[in-house]
Amino acid sequence: MKFTILFVIALCLSIIYSVRVSPSSDNMASASFSLLSDPFLQLPTSHSVRVVWFTEFLDDRSYVKYGSQLEKETDATTTELSRVREDQNSLVNQEYIQPTVRDIWRHEAIITGLTPNQRVPYQVVSVKDKEVISSKQFTLASNPTPDKPLKILLTSDHQLMPMTTANLQKVVETVGRVDAVFFAGDLVNIPDRASEWFDDSRGGAFFPGLQGRANYQLNGTTYKGGEIIQYAPLFTALGNHEVMGRFSTTSSLKDQFSDSIPRSVAKQLYPQEDLKNNSFNTDTYEEIFTLPESQPGGEKYYAVTFGDIRLVVLYVTNMWRSPSNEPNVKGRYQESIRYLDSPENWGYGQHIFEPISRDSLQYRWLKAELANDAFKEAKYKIVMFHHPPHTLGGNIVPPYTDPQAVIQHDQNGRIQSVKYEYPIEQDYIIRDLIPLLETAGVQLVYYGHSHLWNRFTSESRMQFLESSNVGNSYGAHLGDKKRPVPPNNLNYAEVGNPNGLEPIIPNIAPLQDEKGNDLSYIASNDITVFSILDTEKGTVSSYRFDTRQTASEVIKFDEFKIIAPDSHSG
């Protein structure tokens, strides 16, 4: 309780002592209001769907008009986001000198009485001081019936990266309107920075990109993104960039993002009342979205039926820390020598935010979920999470397991060094999760995190796809391009996929190296990639677009079928 009160006081102080310098603040009184985002669709059920939008003013009333003549109205419920702020590093049209609370209200209306497969026009309205502020008209729909052919966009790792808005624009230009978006995490960079969601001044924030309201310059072209989530429900997984670290009123938002420690450590250092502010939290993500929920995991992990797809979304992501072994680095393999005497300042390596090991609550929930009829009877069985089980990318090292501390003391008992090891045989994704998914007949495992495109197939024909070369790439590790790992340690693979499967060369139009050899991946900061699941054909098709040539065509370069593991027909 004491810490909750302290948190509230800290938030108030940060408002009182913050300095906002707005070039247009003198005109604010006469400025008319506008919506901070377009509406987007969430949580469709068989006869309903939710419409969500945001404003920077506390409305007098907000509602959705819908129906063929927009003749019906449903009032929205309004809440204020509790943790979104800006700071000195925010790219917005105001200057901030320290973390400063930003007032943003979220409006959500539940539209009921819908008929599956019938789209209905809608428009959102917020009223403030007798001024009526409306969005454009879009269409909404409830959950489609199982026989309805669907196109689903598989995307991840937007993070306001340079090619993201071009990518989303090309999605709409190439396949038209999709029916849903499956997003495998890392939506923004720092989840509590409001402008990354709404109005980063570079023009490529999260919502503008997915709503066709972006304004991003790349190679001489202005990209608007695509009007996607006004029409299609968004299902997301938590990535490491949705997790905010320890709360502070003074340190930068980036430092707070990086300052997470495991809950188990926080329990030893801080009173029970407010562990969240002293470890890590996903509050902003959970406040922005209305996702399906599971009994133990809430929105953090869940399962949902959409058309003939059963989608299982897991919370499988860990803290990212630098691979550097420079003495002052709080890294994945070591603590900084500056803080050896103060464990409250340690980083605790790449700690896992939510366990997925075989004895964990999430694993037990998953096992029960995979055994129920909704999963077993679904035509398509898809599992989505952020961390890669198989990849050529950098982030598969170190193995996905709890960091094991090796602490050396001198003869007086003072700590000399803290190192972390990650035994590969204890990788929870490979040891526990993947065998469970294989046994259950999952057809597609979809993930991101390394920022490249590559895919794999297991012996039982379970498909693995990483389609995260959306906004940028962190490269593929083959040949001379080695991961930065501790030397002579079999736990850490310098190149290749450490978990065994070989990447599959795209079967339509692979890229080639300088010698003309087909490449099994796309890892490019010039070529952006998106993937579309087509439930009518049972295929996942991947497309690439070269952002260096505005007039260049979008090229379908790979297509594979999702085949049930017990079927060997393809």
Contact footprint for Fe ion (CB under 5 A):
186, 239-240, 449
Nearer to Fe ion, 277 or 350 (CB): 350
Got the DSSP string for 9-45? HHHHHHHHT--EE-TTGGGTTTPPP-BSS--EEE---
Nearer to Fe ion, 59 or 242 (CB): 242
Backbone angles phi, psi at 122, to 5 degrees: -150, 165
> Which position's Cβ is nearest Fe ion?
449
Q: How far is the CB of 386 from Fe ion (least distance, A)?
A: 6
In sequence order, the β-bridge partners of residue 545 are 528
Nearer to Fe ion, 96 or 285 (CB): 285
Q: How far is the CB of 468 from Fe ion (least distance, A)?
A: 8
What is the distance between the alpha carbons of residues 528 and 531, in angstroms, rounded to a whole number? 11
Q: How far is the CB of 186 from Fe ion (least distance, A)?
A: 4
Q: How far is the CB of 474 from Fe ion (least distance, A)?
A: 10
Nearer to Fe ion, 321 or 449 (CB): 449
Nearer to Fe ion, 53 or 446 (CB): 446
Q: How far is the CB of 243 from Fe ion (least distance, A)?
A: 10
Nearer to Fe ion, 170 or 387 (CB): 387
Q: What is the SS3 string spanning 256-290?
A: HHHCCCCHHHHHHHCCHHHCHHHCCECHHHHHHCC
Nearer to Fe ion, 14 or 240 (CB): 240
Helix (H) or strand (E) holding 417: strand 415-421
Nearer to Fe ion, 203 or 239 (CB): 239
Q: What is the SS3 string spanning 498-524?
A: CCCCCCCCCCCCCCECCCCCECCCECC
What is the distance between the alpha carbons of residues 20 and 40, in angstroms, rounded to a whole number? 30
**Closest by Cα among 497, 292, 487, 471 to 393:** 497
**Closest by Cα among 274, 268, 266 to 2:** 274
Residue 23 CB neighbours (<10 A): 9
CB 301 within 8 A of CB 315: yes
Q: How far is the CB of 473 from Fe ion (least distance, A)?
A: 13
Q: List, in sequence order, every beta strand (DSSP E) within 187-345.
A: 216-218, 221-223, 234-236, 302-306, 309-313
What is the distance between the alpha carbons of residues 471 and 189, in angstroms, rounded to a whole number? 12
Q: How far is the CB of 451 from Fe ion (least distance, A)?
A: 8
Q: How far is the CB of 191 from Fe ion (least distance, A)?
A: 12
